[in-house]
Amino acid sequence: MRKGLIVAAIVGAALTGCIPVDHDYHGTVTGSSDTSVATHINAAPITVTGTGEAVKTVELESGGYTVNYTAASNFLIVAPVQSSGSDGPAIINAFGDNTGNGVTGTTTFHANGRTTFHVSNTQGEWSLTFAPL
């Protein structure tokens, strides 16, 4: 019995040290002023579109996603925005072959919930489709 109480006390002490993480964007990014929030995802894919540089928020559930992307221009960078307002590591850093066909591809992303993305280094139309794994 005593051993169980000690384990419970250790676990309780460890959990009190957890700090909530703020995943909302609180800064300013130049480019499109469209900061619309995309529709909530359950099991259906969702497509987010835009033109040029933009900041978009997607109501993702925690879990893994396949991300299909296309861009009319030869380059596309997509990075989640951290709570500090700076870009996190890019989930997409794509460049085409300079033939005018733009870029397309697929990657994976693990979301912890609502995520704001900074889409940059692109011109023209682009799209991102998040499909739950």
Instruction: Classify domain 22-132 by CATH number.
Output: 2.60.120
Residue-by-residue pLDDT tens, the chain, 133 positions = 444 433 333 334 343 343 344 444 444 444 454 555 554 445 689 899 999 999 999 989 999 999 999 999 999 999 999 999 999 999 999 998 888 789 999 999 999 999 999 999 998 999 999 999 9
Domain coordinates in residue numbering, the chain: 22-132
Q: Where are the beta strands (DSSP E) in the chain?
A: 37-38, 46-51, 54-58, 63-71, 75-80, 92-95, 103-111, 115-120, 125-132
At residue 105, what is the residue type? G
The pTM assigned to this predicted structure is 0.67
Output the pLDDT for position 45. Answer: 92
* 55: β partners: 118
Output the pLDDT for position 43. Answer: 67
